[in-house]
Structure 1
Amino acid sequence: MSWLSRLNRPWLHFIVLGFVLFELQRMAFPAPKPVVGPLSEARVETLEQQWLAATGRPPTAAQSQRLIAQELDRDMLFQRALELDLHLYDQVVYQRLLRNMHFLQLAEGKSEQELYDQALEMRLHLGDEVIKRRMIQVMEQLLLAANPPAPVTGEDIAASFAERREELRRAPRYSIEQLYFNRQREGEIPAVIDTIAERGLDAAAARTMSSPFLPGYQFTRQTPDQLARNFGSTFVMNLQQAEPRPRSWVGPIRSTYGLHYVWVEDIEPARDATLAEVRPRLLRDLESRQRADALAGAIDKLRQQYEVRL
């Protein structure tokens, strides 16, 4: 019997025809995608209030749309985690639900497993923001495991170093000692300066003639930002404008606290950073960017499986 005659069977024709019809139906009437969104007006208002609290200004229309899109992505990741039953195998979720049941005073006379099962029946996991954040975190880890970030190469680090050279430039560093005079004692400064010059006193010896200063008197290899944390930005600006030189007195220098007579021990000028100095920072930043890009791409792919309603 030839293979053609073997194909000439009614039951085989029926199976093939049924399969073709099934595929045509699936293509013509695909299963509806799960729906995510839209956000309620209350949730949108909450997002905008959070933005206002963080930035001090209301979001623009474009910023509001980005906030809504990000929140819908969170809802989508949470929904996908629930579809995969990830909440049933996570210890953080387990402990959180037990804690919630104790908080609701429903734990008396029940084992932990009974409490957990009851919490799931009550659907407490759906309205708990801590559980939602945990499930989103787990879902992101799964997406990154399936779509790992591209590794950072030496060429990437070199290119980033060249691109960020000005940003990475090392600030000058000042080693100083200072005498502080509060506003009530500012009139004494000329006499103190004359005494220091006549006796050739160093800063440590002259310190008894100044006022107490809580942050201290000696500051070694401090950047302008570090000095500003102790003296305020006004002091740093006035110090730099005075064009100090190593191994010399400068001032008095005004700060937000009063006046300072400053002994400049040493100044390390600003300079370009070396690649060796900033390589760990560049690597960390590039890995973070690669991770964010990989996660964004994975979320884009996942979004195609849902109907996201803005």
Structure 2
Amino acid sequence: MPLPAWLKRPWLHFLLLGTALFILQRMAFPDPLPVVGPLSEQRMAALQQQWLAATGAPASAEQLKQLVARELDRDMLFQHALSLDLHRHDAVVFQRLLRNMHFLQLAGDRSDQELYQQALEMRLHLGDEVVKRRMIQVLEQLLLSANPPAPLKEEELQAAFVERAEELRRPPRYSFEQLYFARQRDADIAQVITTITEQGLSAGEAREMSSPFLPGYVFKHQTPEQLARHFGAAFVMNFQQAGPQAGQWLGPIASVYGQHYLWVESIEPAREASLEEVRAELERDIAAQHQAEALANAVAQLRQHYELRL
């Protein structure tokens, strides 16, 4: 069967051959990827100094490699956000650049929009860490919108509850009233205790014989951690080692502030948490984990479109 006449046209052959050559050229010689990095010596030194200040020890080679990788990711995200012109549509960036222009005393009598345009022309947004953080934050939200985290499953919640049982255990809680004695009154404590015992005084009735204590005198349903914030860790250790019993006086118990004589009202022993007690906490933690994983996957995909130079 002969070919149609239009298929024999030279112009068609030329067009098909040109298209094929164009496709082959694109496949063989793709456009270069945008380059991110390497970090300057100054930024490398700043990363090492920040690590040293935070941990008290120099960063190892592996730790430094991870720090550099995270910093390059930040640069990539910022560069990508700029390529999408996100900085031109964000109120936070707008206000930040206006503030910078006023700080540089370049405002004059121009309108905010004129100042903003000049700030962009001066490329102030490229060197401002606040703008950079904001642009990365906006882009991350866009990435999560396009790559939403996996939904939470009840089986996952149950598994986390079992795995974190010890961590989620409810601590003991103590309720007591106290009499506080400043250090200079150590010699008075024995006489006060004798008076309380002989007269059968309650903590409230005996309070006038004690010293003022800023955090107060009555403490209800306090965990060891909460008590440590009021009295210090040493008090909690001394208190628990003394073996408190509900309905009894205890002490004196030493703290960093002085001595404390306690009427122990009640003790709620430590116990296992129920799932419903910690459901909200587990859901929040798992959701945060899913979000971090989704964002990490989205950033990994974005890396395929950039050349990151360590």
Does the TM-score normalized on the shorter chain lie above 0.5?
yes
Write the deviation string for residues 60-96 of structure 1: whole angstroms up to 9, x where unpaired: 2222221111111110000001111111122222222
**Distance apart, 1:250 and its partner CA:** 1.1
One-letter amino acid matched to 1:159? A
Distance 1:176 1:3, change over 3 A: farther
Partner Cα separation in structure 2 for residue 145 and residue 219 of structure 1: 47
> What SS does the aligned partner of 1:166 have?
helix
One-letter amino acid matched to 1:10? P
Partner Cα separation in structure 2 for residue 117 and residue 182 of structure 1: 64
**Distance apart, 1:53 and its partner CA:** 2.4
**Distance apart, 1:7 and its partner CA:** 3.0
One-letter amino acid matched to 1:115? L
**Distance apart, 1:3 and its partner CA:** 5.3
After TM superposition, the structure 1 stretch with the greater mean CA deviation from structure 2, 145-154 or 104-113, is 104-113
The equivalent residue for 2:79 is 79
> What SS does the aligned partner of 1:171 have?
coil
The equivalent residue for 2:184 is 184
The equivalent residue for 1:58 is 58
**Distance apart, 1:111 and its partner CA:** 2.2
**Distance apart, 1:272 and its partner CA:** 0.8
Write the deviation string for residues 9-56 of structure 1: whole angstroms up to 9, x where unpaired: 322222221122112111211111100001111111112222222333
Partner Cα separation in structure 1 for residue 242 and residue 16 of structure 2: 92
> What SS does the aligned partner of 1:167 have?
helix
The equivalent residue for 1:114 is 114
Write the deviation string for residues 210-258 of structure 1: whole angstroms up to 9, x where unpaired: 2221111110000000001111111111111111110001111111111
For 1:41-56, list aligned pairs within 5 A: 41-56=41-56
Partner Cα separation in structure 1 for residue 65 and residue 165 of structure 2: 34
Partner Cα separation in structure 2 for residue 88 and residue 231 of structure 1: 52
Distance 1:4 1:161, change over 3 A: farther
Partner Cα separation in structure 1 for residue 213 and residue 90 of structure 2: 53
Number of positions where the alignment pairs a residue of Structure 1 with one of Structure 2: 310
> What SS does the aligned partner of 1:19 have?
helix
Write the deviation string for residues 248-270 of structure 1: whole angstroms up to 9, x where unpaired: 01111111111111111000000
One-letter amino acid matched to 2:155? E
After TM superposition, the structure 1 stretch with the greater mean CA deviation from structure 2, 70-79 or 51-60, is 51-60
**Distance apart, 1:121 and its partner CA:** 1.2
Partner Cα separation in structure 1 for residue 122 and residue 83 of structure 2: 17
The equivalent residue for 2:143 is 143
Partner Cα separation in structure 2 for residue 214 and residue 114 of structure 1: 55
After TM superposition, the structure 1 stretch with the greater mean CA deviation from structure 2, 108-117 or 130-139, is 108-117
The equivalent residue for 2:17 is 17
Partner Cα separation in structure 2 for residue 148 and residue 170 of structure 1: 34
The equivalent residue for 1:30 is 30
After TM superposition, the structure 1 stretch with the greater mean CA deviation from structure 2, 6-15 or 29-38, is 6-15
**Distance apart, 1:2 and its partner CA:** 5.4
**Distance apart, 1:285 and its partner CA:** 0.7
The equivalent residue for 1:292 is 292
One-letter amino acid matched to 1:171? P
Percent identity over the alignment is 67
Alpha-carbon RMSD? 1.5
After TM superposition, the structure 1 stretch with the greater mean CA deviation from structure 2, 117-126 or 55-64, is 55-64
For 1:136-285, list aligned pairs within 5 A: 136-285=136-285
After TM superposition, the structure 1 stretch with the greater mean CA deviation from structure 2, 149-158 or 69-78, is 149-158
After TM superposition, the structure 1 stretch with the greater mean CA deviation from structure 2, 16-25 or 230-239, is 16-25
Partner Cα separation in structure 2 for residue 57 and residue 177 of structure 1: 45
One-letter amino acid matched to 1:285? D
